[in-house]
């Protein structure tokens, strides 16, 4: 119980943006420091820790968390600069060199 009385059928909007930037919880919240999530006692992003709920929480939490956790790193590798075309290229292209198979 969080101590709030909310009337039936009230529409509630959770300000996840503000929660994720709350200086009472986050040190230098506006600084992009992804390594903060590597620190011990890391907050979980799956809806268990209310100070960081990018996927929501509870019964209506995002069902794609397992998918997104796998593909997100791929999205971060993309070159997002504006250009003509319909597909994105990787910021650092993969260079593969074929060598003859021995044996």
Binding site for ligand HEM (CB under 6 A): 54-57, 60-64, 67-68
Shortest gap between Cβ of 23 and ligand HEM (angstroms)? 22
CB 15 to ligand HEM: min, Å: 12
Write the Ramachandran bin of 58: left for phi over 0, alpha for psi from -120 to 50, otherwise beta: left
Distance CA 46, CA 28 (A): 23
Instruction: Between 13 and 96, name the residue whose CB sits nearer to ligand HEM.
Output: 13
Give me the residue whose beta carbon is nearest to ligand HEM: 56
Shortest spacing between CB 32 and ligand HEM, in angstroms: 16
Neighbours of 53 (CB within 10 A): 21
Minimum distance between the CB of residue 55 and ligand HEM, rounded to whole angstroms? 5
State the residue for tokens 């796998």: 70
Q: Say how far apart CA 71 and CA 11 lie, in whole Å.
A: 32
Q: Which residue's CB is nearer to ligand HEM, number 67 or number 91?
A: 67
78: three-class secondary structure by DSSP? strand
Tokens of 32: 């992009």
Whose Cβ is closer to ligand HEM: residue 67's or residue 78's?
67
């Amino acid at each position: 119980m969080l101590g709030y009385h909310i009337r039936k059928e009230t529409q509630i909007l959770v300000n996840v943006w503000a929660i994720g930037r709350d200086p009472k919880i986050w040190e230098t919240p506006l600084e992009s420091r992804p390594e903060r999530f590597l620190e011990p006692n890391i907050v979980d992003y799956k809806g268990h820790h209310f100070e960081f709920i990018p996927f929501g929480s509870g019964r209506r939490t995002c069902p794609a968390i397992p998918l997104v956790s796998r593909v997100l790193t791929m999205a971060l590798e993309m070159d997002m600069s504006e250009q003509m075309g319909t597909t994105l290229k990787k910021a650092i292209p993969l260079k593969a060199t074929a060598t003859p198979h021995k044996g």
